[in-house]
Structure formats: structure tokens, C-alpha cells
Structure 1
Amino acid sequence: MQVTSVGHAGFHIQTGAGSILCDPWVNPAYFASWFPFPDNTGLNWAALGDCDYLYVSHLHKDHFDPQLLREHVNKDATVLLPDYPVPDLKRELEALGFHKFYETEDSVKHTVTGPKGALEIMIIALRAPADGPLGDSALVVSDGTTTAFNMNDARPVDLDVVGEHFGRIDVHMLQYSGAIWYPWVYEMSERTKRAHGEQKRQRQMDRARSYVETVGAVHVIPSAGPPVFLDDQLRFLNDDAGDPANIFPDQTVFLGELEKHGIDGGILMIPGTTAEFDHDSVTVTHPIPDSQVQKIFTDKAAYIEDMATRMAPVIAAEKAAWAPAAGESLYEPLRALFEPIMKQTDQISEGIGYPVALQMTENGEIVETVVLDFPERTVRPRKEVERRFRYGFTMDRSLVRTVLRDGEPDWVNSIFLSIRFRTWRIGGYNEYLYTFFKCLTDERIAYADGWFAEGKDDSDTIELGDWRMQRRCPHLKADLSKFGVIEGTTLTCNMHGWQWDLETGRCKTSRGHELRCDPLEAGQAAEEPSGGTAD
């Protein structure tokens, strides 16, 4: 099996039974904020696109690149389709001309037979509202000699199924770097931002290392990040100076983290690097001399500066295509979009529980404020007596006009991931609020509201430290016997870093999501260790 990096989370997997192109991305994403790092524009995309199979893990725009798929990828390729409850991914691919789909079942091993032979595959489909745009997935593929587990930026809660179906994993590709706007967009002091940034940077690498340790693959390829930010307004987000508070560390940082914990087998890849796997051995070939590969990371600021200069016309063209900021009030278009969605949801509107302010700016000045009143299920102008809101967003009107013009069903997958906004909150993170913004269609909101209504399965019980509690995390059902860590009376689920007060069961991270837990009786020893698998 030959695995070639095509940048970010993208790989071209060549086997005797056919080739699989995974998550190819080259064009800037999220309002020209994100670019692949290192640069992958020089790859032979026509050759890479002449594939037998296509796998797009989910609809995030650093994985789903419509322009690239339309212009360069073989439309007769068989799409390996994750088992999602909302068929948006299939519809988007059909609109681009793809017509052959192999529809998988979640976490079921399949044998896919083509003209060149048979491959064994499994796609783990994550279906919670917080997973990507209502779905994320991971691919396992075996050609009979080598087994690759391409986890991209998915966070599966059950990894046992991989070993049960495939045994040894030869190569594991996974995310380790940030892919979020927190904490830099929040209204808080610089000192507080840095403290949160340091914590998040370490937590995301700990989580990735936990996956590496659990899977136990012979080789590990850090992937799915980081992006590079080339717009002058966003250049501060790049980790080009070894800042411990930066949430976008690069591949070399994570490989160093693995080595620090005694984990061998890490492979550094840049776009165009190939890795030829043969049982326990691997041959890695870079498209440029090794010294130049290292210079990308040791002299990263210069590399980014050069890339920013070359991509400046691309950014300018993207910005020119945005809708103009000036014009009539956006109150009526926003009311027409949001109110029907708000009226369809009980769980999400009640979970948000407060009016939310949407402040829109022109040239940096707030020119209009629209209030999403979730308790009343209405959209209205701001009242003069309202001074401060529990939740609020500030964003340029041109971005809002653009997503309205384009009928964008997911503001998380557009404005928020662009990091071109500011926000505040009083209290903890509210998962319901961000779920609402990614579910701006009737079908999406119905699914998400129903998912919350079904509640969490807390029937199974474990003992962890001095406590008895439900096995499944109330957030996204991660197994707390593996991802739960207790410090004092606080439980942290290292899958996403959510925390609970064990004395009350109250979630310290977000509203709702209470944990069923009780202290063990005096003298009763827990069978589980006090800390599960750290992430």
C-alpha cells in the first residue's frame, strides 16, 4: 500500500485493488481564512483525481472542496459514503456530477469489489449534532497486507470495533491540532486568552495521543491540520514562534510530543510525500530534499510570508466576491431565516434559554443589532432598555449578507470557522446555541432537536475512583471508563474536555447534560482506576 499526502487531511491511497482519494482540499476555505499547510497547489491534481474511489469524510470546507472535486476528480469514481441520517453529503456530491455511491453501514466491515480487485473497508459514522455539519467519519481500509486507519478530525467514541474487525493497524492518520475559534474570538483579557490557549493546546495533543495509544498502530501520520492563515488580519493565529498558547501547533510539534511519551513510528509528511508500507517496514519519499522539508518548519515565518505574498491575489478575489456590507437593514432577511427554525425546536431553543444578540458592523463600527429571542421564538430589533446579553456575536455585515445571499445552511461551517467574528458569553459554553447555527434547514433542525429529545443512554454504570456513575458521557456518549479523569471532585471527559461536579452531577462546561453519579459507600473499593485513558 502506498499512501501519499495531498495536504491537510487529504491522502491518496494506492493499492493493487484500486486507488482512494480522501478529503482533497486546495482552495481557501471559510471566507479565505484557511489555506492548507504546507502549500499543496503544486500537486498534479488531474492525476490524483483520476482515482477509483472517493472518500469525503464530511462537509467541513477543509475536507469538502467543491471546486476541486468539480474540476479535477473523476466523476465515475465510486464514492464511499458514510452512513449519515441527513443526506446532505450525498446531495452535494450528486450536484457535482458524482453518480456511483457505495453506501456503507456505520461501523460495519464491507468488501468493496471493483475491476482491479477487492478492498475491505469500514466507515465509522459519527452522527451527533456536534459532529461536523451533522456528521463526521473515519475510514479503515485494508488491501490484505496493510491496514490504514484514516481518522482525519473525527473523534470516534468506540475504537474497539476497529481492532475487532481488522486486528493490527499499520498506519494511523489523525488530527492533533486546533480547528476551532476558541479562545481568540472571545471578549476576555489577553492573559485569560493565553491561559485558555495553553490548556487547549495541550488538551488537544493529549487527546490525540490517547487515540494513538489506544489504536496502537505501527506508524502514525499527524494530519488534518494545522491550516495556515495568510490574511494580514489573521496572521497572528499561526504558530510560527513556538508560542505555548497557540492552538495550531504543526506536525513536528506533535511528533515531538509522541517521542516525549516514548511513542515511536511517527511519520512527517508534506503534500507530495509518499509512504510505501510493506508489513513492518515503511519507505518515505519527500517531493523535495529532506533539508528543505525541515526548513518549512524551522523557518516557518518566512515560509508563511512567501506563501501569503503568492496567495494575496486569491484572497483579494475571494473578498471581492463577498456581498457588499452597505445597504438596507438585515432584520427582515434574518427574521425570515431564523424564526421558522426557532419555532420548530423545543429542545434547542429551551437549551439556549436566553435572547442572543447579533451585532453587525461596517468598517469596524456596529451599525445594526438583531436579537434572536429564543424564549419567545422570535427575531426582533434590540430594545433600548437591553444593555447586556448573556450570549452575543459581532460580525461584519458583508459576511452576514453573503451567507444570506448564498443560502448557507450552516454558519459554523462558514462565518464561525473563518474566525472573522467576535463573541461573548456569561457562564459556560452552550452547545445548543452552536448546534442551532449549523442547522438552518427544516431537515437539519428536526434531526438535531430529535437527537436531544431522545436524551443520553445512562443505564450502564461504572466505578471510577471513589465514585459510581453512568458509563456514557452525557455530552457525546464517550466511554468514561476510557476517557474519564477525576481530580478531586471534578470529572473531566477528555474526549472534548467537558467537566462535571461529582458532588452534584452538574455540568461545569455547559447548561444541562447532568451526570448521574454517587459516591461509593465507605470501605467499598472501586474496580476502575482513578483516571481513565488520558486524551
Structure 2
Amino acid sequence: MQITSVGHAGFHIRTEAGSILCDPWVNPAYFASWVPFPDNTSLDWDALGDVDYLYVSHLHKDHFDPGTLRDHVRKDATVLLPDYPVPDLRRELEALGFTKFYETTDSVKHRISEAGIRDAPDAPLEPGELDIMIIAMRAPADGPIGDSGLVVSDGETTVFNMNDARPIDMDPMHDAFGHIDIHLLQFSGAIWYPMVYDIPKKTKANFGKQKRQRGMDRCRSYIEQVGATWIVPSAGPPVFLDDELRSLNDDHGDEGNIFPDQQVFLEQLRIHGRDGGLLMIPGSVVDLAGSEKMTLAHPMPEAEVEAIFTNKAAYIEDMARRFAPVIAAEKAKWAPAEGEPLLPALKAKFEPIMAQSDLICDGIGYPVGLVMGDETVVLDFPKRIVREPVEGEGKYRYGFRIAPEIVRTVLRDDEPDWVNTIFLSTRFTTWRVGGYNEFLYTFFKCLTDERIAYADGWFAEAHDDTASIEMSGYEIQRRCPHLKADLSKFGVVDGTTLTCNLHGWQWDLESGRCKTSKGHELRSSKV
């Protein structure tokens, strides 16, 4: 098996039974904020797109790049489709011209070949066959209504491309494939917290430092669970090339930066005594024959590869100069800042969604302020209306300051997901009084009838908290109240605080109270 990095979470997997292109991303994403790092524009994208199979893990724009998929990937490639609750990913790929789809079943091993797809038998693979499994995550917090990881085996080598997915159960994969030879996974930040928050600088730096370490701790936890021979840190970090956002790059010794690079994480692995870490940049190729034989080749001399990271600020400066026209062209596509008042358009967008989402609106539980230049609009979730501010209303418990041209752009484009457009761009600021509100960001992610119906129903289902585990003198429910992660694998206790490293949520073990968000109580008692 030959695996080529094509940048960020993108990989080209070549086997004797066919080739698979995974998550190709080239063009700036999220209002031209994110760009792949290191630069991958010099790769031969027509050659990379000449594949038998295409796998797009989910609809985040650093994984789903419409321009690259449209211009460079064969339209007769067979799409390996995750088992998602809403068909948005398939619809988007069909709109780009793809017509052949293998609809997989979550966490089931399938055998694929030119003849089609079927559940994998126990018999050895025949020539021209591959075994695959797509682990699909379907909670509202998983990407834009779905995220996934891909397992591929050619009978000799097995790769687990986890990208930035966060699976909660590895047993089906291990039962179906046994040992994993190489594990590709996210280690760096992919969020706007805490950079955009209106909080004191020192507090922000402390939160950032915690977030940075939690991300790498979570990655190491997955590495231990998967137990692969070789590990490739991938799916980040992006690079920020716009002058307004350059400070977000981890190139100036900021311990509170949430975007550490591959070399930083590989050093973290070495500190914790873990061997097998591999540095891959766009164009790096690893050839594997199971776990016994591995060769790695880079597209440039080793010294030049090292210089990307040791002289990172200079490398980013050069990228910024070259990408300036590209970013300017993207900004030119935005809607103008001036225009009619935004209140009527926001009422038309949000109020029908509010009317369909009682559980989510009640979970938010208070009015939210939206400040767009000189205009302020209130999303009054208790009343299910969008309105003007009321005199004497005071500061809202949650609020966002967003440039009007950005809001006008997502309204013009009928964007169904503000989280994975506006918020991931980091081109906004926010404030809150109290904890993170999971329901609020779910609302902003689900701005279609289909999405909001699924999300409201998902929250309405009771989480399974019948099984218990014992940790540090407490009996607690095994499944995390947030997104059902196994706390025996992801839970860490410090004093009377339990942290679930899957998403960093915390609980007070004495009371069961969630310290991160409203609701989500934990069943807990002293042993």
C-alpha cells in the first residue's frame, strides 16, 4: 500500500485493487481564513484526481472543496458514502457531477471491487478487492450533521484515516480488522475558542493553553486505543494568511496558541515515550507492507522539510505574499456591507427554524444579541422571534459581533450552517455570561427544516446512562452525558472534577453538575 499526503486531512491511497482520494482541499476556506499548511498548490491535482474511489469524510470546507472536486477529480470515480442521517453530502457531490455512490453502513466492514459493494465475508481478499469500513458519527455536534473515519485494508496493510473525527467506539474496527498498521488523525485545533472571546488577555491565554494541551491529550488517547504501528499527525493546522488573522498562527512562541504544528505534536509523542510518529507534508509518500516494512520519502530534501517548521514565520510570510491575490479575489465575492436593514431577512431565515425546534430553543433559554455594524438584532429564543432590542434590556448573556457583509453573504447564499462558515472563519467576536451553550451552536448549524428536525429529535432521545464505572473513588455513569463517549477511555479525574477528553467537557463529581454547559447532568456518587 502506498499513501501520499495531499495536505491537511487529504491522502491518496494506492493499492493493487484500486486508488482512493480522501478529503482533497486546496482552495481557501471559511471566508478565505483557512489555507492548507504546508502549501499544497504545486501538487499534480489532475493526476491525484484520476482515481477509482473518492472519500469525503464530511462537509467541512477543509475536507469538502467544491472547486478541487469539480475541476480535478474524475466524475466516474465511485464515492464511498458515510451512513449519515441527512443526505446533504450526497446532494452536494451530485451537484458537482458525481453519479456513482457506494452507500456504506456505519461501522460495518464492506468488500468493494469493480463489481460493487457487499458485506465483507471471512474469506481472504481476491485480486481487485478491498475491505473498507466507514465509522460514521451522527450527533448534531459532529461536523455539519455528520463526521466520519475510513478504514482500508488490501489484505496486507490496514490504514485508519480518522482525519478530525472523534469515534466513541473502536471495538467494531478492531473486531473486523485486527491490528491497524498506520493511523492518520487530527492533533491540532479546529475551532474559534478562545481567540474570538471578549475576555481579558491573560485569561484568554490561559484558556488557550488548556485547549492546546487537551487537543493533544485527546489525540494521544486515540493513539493508545487504536494501537497502530505508525502514526501520522494530520488534519491541521491550517495557516492564516490574511493580515487581519496572521496572529492566529503558531509562529511566535505563544503557549496559548491552539494551532500547534506536526513537529510540536511529534515531540509530544516522544516526551510520552511513543515511537512510530511520521512527519508527512504535501507530496510525502509512505510505502507499507503491513507493520514490518515502511519507507517514507519527501518531495524535497530533508533540510528543506525541516526549514518549513524551524523557519515557520518566514515560510508563512512567503505564502501570504503568494496567496494575497487569491484571498483578495475571495473577498471580492462577499456581499456589500451596505444595504437594507438585516432584521427582515433574519426574521425570514430564523423564525421558521425556531418554530420547529422547541427543545433546542428551550435549551438556549434566553435572548441572544447579534451586532452587525450599526444594527443590532435580538434572537429571542424563549419567544421564538427575531426582533429589535428593547430599551433597558441590558447586555445579553450571549452575543456575537459580525461584520454586516459576512451576514449578508450567508443570507444571500442561503447558507444552512453558520457554525461552519462564519464561526470557523474566526471573523467575528463574541461574549457570554456563564457556560458554553451547546444548543445555541446546534441551532446555528441546522438552518434547514431537515437538519433542525433531526437535531431536535436527537436531543429528545434519552442518553443511555444505565452502565456505571468506578474512577478515583466515585461511581459514575459510563457514557458521557454530552455525546455518549466512553468515560472509562476518555474520562480524567482531577480532584472532584471529571473531564471528558473527547470534547473537553467537565463535571463536578460531588453534585453531578456540568461545569461546561447548561444541563447535561452526570450521575455520580462516592464509593
Q: Report the TM-score range of the alignment, normalised by the length of the smaller protein.
A: over 0.9
Q: Please show how residues 43-442 of structure 1 align to structure 2 within 5 Å.
A: 43-114=43-114, 117-279=128-290, 280-361=292-373, 367-442=374-449
Q: Per-residue CA shift, 1:162-186, capped at 9, x if unaligned?
A: 2111111110000000000000100
Q: Name 1:528's counterpart in structure 2.
A: none
Whether 1:449 and 2:456 are equivalent positions in the alignment is yes
1:246-274 per-position Cα deviation (integer Å, ceiling 9, x unaligned): 10000000000001111111110110110
Separation in 2 of the partners of 1:244 and 1:322?
A: 34
Q: Which runs of 4+ in 1 moved over 3 A?
A: none
CA–CA distance in 2 between the matches of 1:453 and 1:470? Answer: 19
Deviations along 1:178-227, whole A, 9 cap, x unmatched?
A: 00000010010000000001101011001101111111111000100000
Count of matched residue pairs: 515
- Cα distance, 1:465 vs structure 2: 2.1
- 8 Å Cα contact 1:17/1:114 also seen in 2: no
Per-residue deviation, residues 292-351 of structure 1 (Å, max 9, x unmatched): 010000000000000000000011111111000011100000000000000101111011
Q: Whole-Å Cα distance in 1 between the matches of residues 491 and 295 of structure 2?
A: 38
Worse-superposed segment, 236-245 or 111-120: 111-120
Inter-partner Cα distance in structure 2 for 1:278 and 1:12: 16
Deviations 1:408-432 (A, max 9, x none): 0000110000000000000000000
Deviation at 1:242, TM superposition (A): 3.1
State the Cα deviation string for residues 32-74 of structure 1 (Å, max 9, x = none).
0000000000000000000000000000000000011001100
Q: Secondary structure at the match of 2:363?
A: helix
- Give, as a single letter, the amino acid of the residue that structure 1 aligns with 2:524: C
Matched, 1:41 2:41: yes
Instruction: Output the CA distance in 1 between the equivalents of 2:149 and 2:330.
Output: 31
Q: Which residue of 2 aligns with 1:530?
A: none
Counterpart AA for 1:254: F
Distance 1:320 1:291 in 2: 38
Deviation at 1:455, TM superposition (A): 2.3
Residue 524 of structure 1 corresponds to none
Deviates more, 1:134-143 or 1:381-390: 381-390
Give the equivalent residue in structure 2 for 1:493.
500
SS of equivalent residue, structure 1 residue 207: helix
Unaligned runs of 5+ in 2: 116-126
1:5 paired to 2:5: yes
Aligned mates of 2:182, 2:219 — CA distance in 1: 14
C-alpha distance in structure 2 between counterparts of 1:503 and 1:38, whole Å: 46
- How far apart, in 2, do the equivalents of 1:506 and 1:179 lie? 27
Distance 2:264 2:31 in 1: 27
Provide the secondary structure at the position in 2 that maps to 1:491: strand
Q: TM-score, normalised by structure 2?
A: 0.97
After TM superposition, give the deviation of residue 488 of structure 1 in Å: 1.7
Q: Which amino acid aligns with 2:462?
A: G
| SS at 2:422 equivalent | helix
Please list the CA deviations of residues 75-127 of structure 1 after superposition, one character each: whole Å capped at 9, or x if unmatched: 10010000000110011001111010000000000001127710000000000
Hey, what does 2:118 align to over in structure 1? none
Equivalent-residue separation in structure 2 for 1:154 and 1:332 (angstroms) = 37
Answer with 205-214 or 441-450: which moved more. Answer: 205-214
Q: Does the 8 A contact of 1:176 with 1:223 survive in 2?
A: yes
CA distance in structure 2 between the partners assigned to 1:430 and 1:83 by the alignment: 27
Identity of paired residues, percent?
71
Query: Displacement, 1:467?
Result: 1.4
Q: CA deviation at 1:355?
A: 0.1
Q: Please give the alpha-carbon distance, in whole angstroms, between the structure 1 residues aligned to 2:259 and 2:490.
A: 23
Helix, strand or coil at the partner of 1:148: strand
Whole-angstrom CA distance in 2 between matches of 1:68 and 1:380: 40
Looking at structure 1, the residues matched to 12 and 421 of structure 2 have their Cα atoms a distance apart, in angstroms, of 26
Give the Å deviation of 1:456: 1.1
SS at match of 1:478: coil
Cα deviation, residue 459, structure 1: 1.5
2:129 match: secondary structure? strand
2-structure distance, mates of 1:242, 1:291: 22
| C-alpha distance in structure 1 between counterparts of 2:295 and 2:100, whole Å | 34
SS in 1 for 2:405: helix
RMSD: 0.8
Whole-Å separation in 2 of the counterparts to 1:501 and 1:289: 51
Q: Could you list the per-position Cα deviations for residues 367-424 of structure 1 after superposition, in whole angstroms to 9, with x for gaps in the alignment?
A: 0000000000000011121120000000000000000000100001100000000000
Q: Distance in 1 between matches of 2:79 and 2:238?
A: 26
Q: Structure 1 stretch 160-169 or stretch 309-318: which is displaced more?
A: 160-169
Q: 1:503: which partner in 2? A: 510
Contact 1:501 1:507 in 2 (8 A): yes
Aligned-partner SS, 1:13 = strand
Structure 2 distance, partners of 1:379, 1:314, is 36
Q: What amino acid does structure 2 have at the position aligned with 1:437?
A: F
Structure 2: distance between partners of 1:516 and 1:262: 35
Structure 1 stretch displaced more, 248-257 or 480-489: 480-489
The structural deviation recorded for 1:278 is 1.6
Shift of 1:241: 2.3
